Amino acid sequence: MSKSGHLESNFDKGVYKLIKETVVWKKLASEGAAPPSYADELILTHKENLRILREFVMLVVRDYNMIIDSMDETEKKLFKKHLEETKLVINPGLMKLKWSSKGILEGFVRECRRKCKEIYEILKMYKNNRIKI
């Protein structure tokens, strides 16, 4: 969680960089360059899973940040309880879950997105009703 209250992905930037570099090495293979074997192994066995997991996490990050971005300071105070409930759902992913927890992570992401959608719908209803008043 950043100072502004936004979520940030905790995807290991080193792993992400290794994947990108290995892809470049593979493109240079026709010129005789070969990626290190450990990097090649990572790409062959985990690239797609890591990409999917990263996308799952980014869905939660975007959903939560959309809520935060659509609120002014007064609304943040008014919806404090809802935001805290949402953080309670999200926090295990910030502290306990690992990237290797694929099956668990999918259920976690589904629950986080459900909770974010719930609070966003309440926020939209509040904003629409406020306009009518």
pLDDT in tens, 41-72: 777 777 787 788 788 888 999 999 999 999 99
Higher-confidence residue: 17 or 79?
79
Distance CA 24, CA 20 (A): 6
Asked if 126 and 76 count as a contact pair (C-beta separation under 8 A), the reply is no
Direct distance between the N- and C-terminal alpha carbons of the chain, in angstroms, rounded to an integer: 34
Give me the pLDDT at residue 114, please: 96
**Average pLDDT over all residues of the chain:** 83
The DSSP secondary-structure symbol of 31 reads: G
CA dihedral 109, 110, 111, 116 (to 10 degrees): 80
Say if residue 105's pLDDT is above 70: yes
CB of 105 within 8 A of CB of 97?
yes
Q: CA 76, CA 79: separation in Å to the nearest integer?
A: 5
Residue 7 domain-assigned (yes or no): no
Q: Which domain holds residue 38?
A: 13-132
Rounded percentage of the chain residues whose pLDDT exceeds 90:
38
In a domain, 1, yes or no: no
> Is residue 60, in this structure, part of any structural domain at all?
yes
Determine the average pLDDT of the residues in 3-32: 77
Q: What is the pLDDT of residues 25-35, one digit of tens each?
A: 777 777 877 76
Residue 6, domain member (yes or no): no
Domain tally for the chain?
A: 1
Q: Would you say residue 122 lies in a domain?
A: yes
Does 75 map to a domain?
A: yes
Residue 8 lies in a domain: no
Quick: pLDDT tens for 78-96: 999 999 999 999 988 776 6
Q: Is residue 2 part of a domain?
A: no
